[in-house]
Amino acid sequence: MDTTIVKKIISGDIKAFEALFNDYYDRLAYFAYQYLKDKDNAEDVVQELFSKLWVNRQKLSIETSINAYLYSAVRNACLNQLKHQKVKEAYFSASGTTMEYDEFIPNKIDAEDLGQLIQSCIIDLPPERQKIFLLSREQDLKYKEIAEKLGISVKTVEAQMGKALRFLRERLKEYLAVWIVFFIDIAKYF
C-alpha cells in the first residue's frame, strides 16, 4: 500500500495525494499539538509538510513506512520550531526588551522590501557561488547533491556556501537582528 501511494504521488496523482492528506491531516495536527501546545502552529506545521511533500514529490524517497515518515517529519518540524522559539525568547530576555517584530526592523522595512534587498545581494554573488547558494536554498539540495549536480567536491560546496553566507551577513548586517530573532528563510522571498 505504502509503495503504491508513494509511486502515485511521485507521478503527480493528485487524488492519491489528497487521500493521503485526508487520511493523515487530523492525526498529524493532533500529534504536532502535543509538542507545540498551539492549534494554529500545529496545523501550520502539517500544512507545510504536505505542501513540501507535493512540491518535492519527484525527489521523494521514503525508506520506512509512509506513516513513520510523516510522523517523523512532523516531530522534527515541531522540535525545530520549539528550538527557534527558545532562541527568540533568549534573545528578548538577553536584550531586556519585549519589542514586537516591526519595532526591530530598521526604517520599518517590511518583509517584501527585505526580500528584495536579499535578492539584490544574492545577485551580487559571483555566478558559481550564486548557483550553489540557490541550489541549496531554492531547491533544498544537500551539499552532496549540489556537488554531484555541479561535478565539484562537497568541500568546495561547503566553502562557497560559507563565503556566500558571510557576504550576505556583511551586506545585511543592520537587518541581522531580524534574522536572528525570526530565522528568516531566505528562499521565501523569491
Q: For residue 96, what is the DSSP state?
A: T
Q: What is the average pLDDT value for the chain, to the nearest integer? A: 79
The tens digit of pLDDT for each residue in 29-45 reads 999 999 999 898 899 89
Q: Give the integer Cα–Cα distance in Å for 87 and 182.
A: 9
The tens digit of pLDDT for each residue in 151-161 reads 999 999 999 98
- Judge whether residue 3 has pLDDT over 70: yes
- Judge whether residue 12 has pLDDT over 80: yes
C-beta atoms surrounding 4 within 10 Å = 9
The residue written with cell numbers 520506512 in the block is 64
97 three-state secondary structure: coil
Residue 73 corresponds to which amino acid?
A: A
C-beta separation of 23 from 29 below 8 A: no
Q: Which of 67-71, 87-91, 179-183 has the lowest mean pLDDT?
A: 179-183
Residue 72 corresponds to which amino acid?
A: S
- Judge whether residue 133 has pLDDT over 50: yes
Strands (E) in the chain, as ranges, are: none
DSSP H or E segment with residue 83: helix 66-95
> pTM of the prediction?
0.49
φ/ψ of residue 74, rounded to 5: -65, -45
Domains of the chain: 2-95 (1.10.1740.10), 101-189 (1.10.10.10)
Distance of CA 113 to the CA centre of its chain: 20
Residue 62's pLDDT band, with cuts at 50, 70 and 90, is confident
C-beta atoms surrounding 112 within 10 Å = 9
Which residue has better confidence, 15 or 106? 15
The residue written with cell numbers 548557483 in the block is 131
Q: Give the integer Cα–Cα distance in Å for 152 and 144.
A: 9
Which residue has better confidence, 90 or 62? 62
- 48 vs 5, 16, 134, 152, CA distance in Å? 20, 18, 20, 32
C-beta separation of 46 from 28 below 8 A: yes
Q: Which residues contact 98 (CB under 8 A, 6 or more apart)?
A: 92
What value does the CA radius of gyration of the chain take, rounded to a whole number of Å? 19
